[in-house]
Amino acid sequence: MSVPVCLVPGRSSQRAGLASLLAALITALLLFSSNLAGAASALQKTQVPGYYRVMVGAFEITALYDGYIDVDSKLLKNASEQEIRSLLARIFVKGPQMQTAVNAYLINTGQQLVLIDTGAAKKFGPSLGYLIDNLKAAGYDPAQVDAVLITHLHGDHVNGLVTPEGKPAFANAEIWSAKADNDFWLSSEVAAKAPQDAQPFFKMAQDAAAPYQQIGKWKVFAADGEIVPGIRSVAAPGHTPGHSAYLVASNGQQLLIWGDLVHSHSVQFSRPEVVIEFDVNKKQAVATRKAMFARTAKEKLLVAGMHLPFPGIGHVRSERKGYAWVPIEFGPIRE
């Protein structure tokens, strides 16, 4: 005679134990899958490190992203508000705030490591000041930099020269600045005569220069000359008195790093006559921009700019009216 399993002594307790174990396992699996789902749906809100490389002849160029700043389109002059809004809308910028990158460029010549500009540090807000982080992410250390070439002495280009403690951030580098900018921004007499709202800009320049001046590593160059082998300065005055571009040349290839020639790519390529409030000599800034646009378009020069959308490298194309910006495509390093 068969006996019902439920009536066999001990079987009921075994079944109860197995049921409890199974329930516990199911609960654990449900919690595990729930945690996985939660992790998969969490917003990361971060980007990749901000560096990008291209080769110019035998030179390795690394674009470094310091961050961004939102610039009010009302700072743009020589065009109507309606025209500026229209130009911004063409590239889907709502305005009036324009997201503007702050870039720098590291050049490995094989013999020297040369940095063009150093970013804003944290003195313009938390969205800037990432140059050192991105330099390290790109595989380099600030102590390896041999020379820093400054396009001009505005704070978003030189604040990164010093640490938060006021020490040299590039302890082994010589710093090179154009004489005309030195004579303007580092002059206590000129600063004393400047409007009150301009005083902080003079102080930033002087604070950035001081630690290097004290150790004899602040160098001054005249316009249009080779500073290190393969890199020469090109006078580009207007934005500041000594605003300088740098022409990088190797094995028949060239890159023109033009500093602050353009602050709003959506507006100023189409309308080169548009200036920004920060231009010290606005008439001269327009003349310089038009000349640089004409040259780079004609010669098909590869160019890089500190306030062009990162990595800020590309070409200038001549249009029926004005010019157009043609950024490079993301891709592998090509020798």
- Domain range 51-327, CATH architecture: 4-Layer Sandwich (3.60)
Per-residue pLDDT, 89: 95
Residue 90 corresponds to which tokens in the numbers above?
């063409």
Per-residue pLDDT, 130: 97
62-84 b/e with 16+ CB inside 10 Å = b? bbbbbbbbebebeebeebeeeeb
Distance in angstroms (rounded) separating the CA atoms of residues 181 and 109? 26
What is the dihedral sign for C-alpha 44, 50, 52, 58?
Answer: negative
Strand blocks (E) in the chain: 51-56, 59-72, 76-77, 97-108, 113-116, 147-149, 174-178, 218-221, 226-228, 231-235, 244-250, 253-257, 275-276, 302-304, 313-318, 323-327
Per-residue pLDDT, 233: 98
Q: What pairing do the DSSP bridges indicate for beta strands 147-149 and 113-116?
A: parallel
Name the residue among 121, 124, 117 with its Cα closest to residue 71: 124
What pLDDT digit, counting tens, does each position of 43-91 carry?
A: 988 899 999 999 999 999 999 999 999 999 999 999 999 999 999 999 9
Task: For residues 245-274, give the mean pLDDT.
Answer: 98
Residue for token pair 């094995």: 251
What pLDDT digit, counting tens, does each position of 291-316 carry?
A: 999 999 999 999 999 999 999 999 99
End-to-end CA distance of the chain: 88
Distance in angstroms (rounded) separating the CA atoms of residues 169 and 147? 12
Distance in angstroms (rounded) separating the CA atoms of residues 147 and 109? 12
Burial (Cβ within 10 Å: 0-12, 13-18, ≥19) of residue 111: exposed
SS3 44: coil
Predicted TM-score (pTM) above 0.75: yes
Per-residue pLDDT, 44: 86
Cβ atoms 245, 257 nearer than 8 A: yes
Question: Per-residue confidence at 35, pLDDT binned at 50, 70, 90?
Answer: low
Distance in angstroms (rounded) separating the CA atoms of residues 18 and 23? 8
C-alpha distances out from residue 201 to 103, 123, 154, 167, Å: 19, 11, 7, 19
Cβ atoms 122, 129 nearer than 8 A: yes
Give the Cβ contact number of residue 31 at 10 Å.
10
Lowest mean pLDDT among 4-18, 57-71, 96-110, 130-144: 4-18
Per-residue pLDDT, 60: 98
Cβ atoms 143, 172 nearer than 8 A: yes
What are the φ/ψ torsions at residue 146 (nearest 5 degrees)? -90, -35
Question: Per-residue confidence at 32, pLDDT binned at 50, 70, 90?
Answer: low
Per-residue pLDDT, 14: 61
Per-residue pLDDT, 95: 85
